[in-house]
A and B are shown apart, each in its own frame.
Chain A
Amino acid sequence: MKKNLFVLLLLVAFSFEIIQAQEEKTDNLQLLIKFFSLGNTWSRFSGDRGYPPGLPYCTKETYDVQLAMSAFFGKNSNWGIDVSLVLSNIYDDDKFDMYVRNNWSSDYYYLSQYKSSYSDEFVYRFGSGVCYKYGKKRFIIITKALIGVTSFKNIEKSVSFKKKDSNDMYLLNYVPSGNTDSFTIMPCVSFGFRLNRILALTFDAMYSVYRNNFSYTETFTDLYTDHQTLNTYKYKGPVNNLSISFGLAFTVF
């Protein structure tokens, strides 16, 4: 279902990137519309250490569909404006699962994990700003300085345990707070290779950085006595992302 949804998203992803535009009939407008592009985003979180790995969304890799449009006003103008959108499906690795198993396996049996998976979730990055292009023939390079917003979607995780040599059962629960969209700075560089008058291959490298002070509350509950042990992990510091994508674009010259 998740894969189908992602494929469906790809099929309807009429991403719009603008690489360049110089059309005989439209002397005053050059356009480059990236309509199909696939890529990956790698995230690095440099905040506090000691939290369970693989728990927050911002530490995970994502599969991306990128859409972009660049417009340059004036026949000889190299300066323009750009609008970019990155839709991402989060890749849920097994780091959290392995952490839980390794950390609690000495005294407890790991029974099952509840709640949803990150693989069911989509996030987006949207930005707009100015761009500058180099080259007019087959090769085009566009540098972009974008600002925008990144959606933030940490999810709850729960794991049940059974204590060894005992009838006692426990629930380990991680509840996130601070799931707010974040202001994001997104510098980007796009390389275009024109196949013909209207079609171009593109390669994009986008760095984005944002700050989101969120937290996770860890609750360890004895399901018989309802006794709870609480612990809070506070996350600070910037989240760095690098997105790489390849795609196709229309050029209107």
Chain B
Amino acid sequence: MRSLKVIIILMVIAVTGMAADCCNCPEPETHEYTLASLSVGNVDNSGEYAVDADIQLVKKESYGIKLLFSFKIAEQTSRASLNFSLMQSAYAACCFCDEAYYAMTDSIVSLHIFSETDFDASHPGDSDISEYFKIFKTNEKAGEFISIVNYSFSSISEYEILYGSVPVICFLMTPPSDSGEYRFRVEALLSDGRKFTETINAVLI
């Protein structure tokens, strides 16, 4: 009889410990990423989807610029804390603990596209023509064109961060009246003060 009581007490302790461990999630790790590089290129959007322009000749109505933002790990701000318990939390089937967060440490303060050649009468060489480019942002109602000046990393998903890079297509929505060879330059200013400047190969549009 006495041994039965001991067994019952031990079982109560074990069950209580298991229940407590269910709610004893470790602190989730936060992985912070920062922009490592920016590469740019011409894209041809004349088909169903935008593709890299292999030849330097693109219809001006379907021209675009691809920005490829690549990320790297900045730092790990927090680690899982050690908790004393009678059993491993991983064995508790009812636990729904967050494993880790992935976030960007920096954001784009300003994004601008310059034409290094004469674009039109009001935009001579080295003019800012950012207003002529738009980014198509999908949403539940198909999508909308947003100004590239308003673009930041806020809409980047954790999956894209983990993937290591995210492509952003800037569509030329107001093409020049004259066809010819054009060269564009992209300047991105980050919140930590870094500035990325990339010049794209000349293109005939």
Chain A residues within 8 Å of B, Cβ to Cβ: 109, 111-112, 114, 158, 160, 162, 164-167, 169, 171, 223-224
Q: How many A-B residue pairs have CB under 8 A?
A: 45
**A interface majority secondary structure:** strand
A160 touches B61 (CB 8 A): no
A171 touches B173 (CB 8 A): no
Q: Which residues of B contact A162 (CB under 8 A)?
A: 48
B64 touches A223 (CB 8 A): no
A171 to B136, CA, bound (A): 13
Of the listed stretches B14-22, B66-74, B140-148, chain A binds: B140-148
Q: Is B195 an interface residue (CB 8 A)?
A: no
One of A114, A164, A165, A224 near B173 (C-beta < 8 A): A224
Residue of A nearest to B170 (CB): A167
A171 touches B134 (CB 8 A): no
In the assembled complex, how far is the CB of residue A101 from the closest CB belonging to chain B, in whole angstroms?
13
Q: Which residues of A contact B64 (CB under 8 A)?
A: 167
Q: Which residues of B contact A164 (CB under 8 A)?
A: 46-47
Q: List 19 A-B contacts (CB under 8 A).
A: A109-B48, A111-B48, A158-B141, A162-B48, A164-B46, A165-B46, A165-B59, A166-B61, A166-B62, A167-B61, A167-B62, A167-B171, A169-B142, A169-B143, A169-B145, A171-B141, A171-B142, A223-B142, A223-B143
Q: Which residues of A contact B172 (CB under 8 A)?
A: 167
Q: Is B42 an interface residue (CB 8 A)?
A: no
Q: Which residues of A contact B34 (CB under 8 A)?
A: none
Q: Which residues of B contact A165 (CB under 8 A)?
A: 46, 59, 61-62
A158 to B61, CA, bound (A): 25
A114 touches B141 (CB 8 A): yes
Q: Is B89 an interface residue (CB 8 A)?
A: no
In the assembled complex, how far is the CB of residue B67 from the closest CB belonging to chain A, in whole angstroms?
16
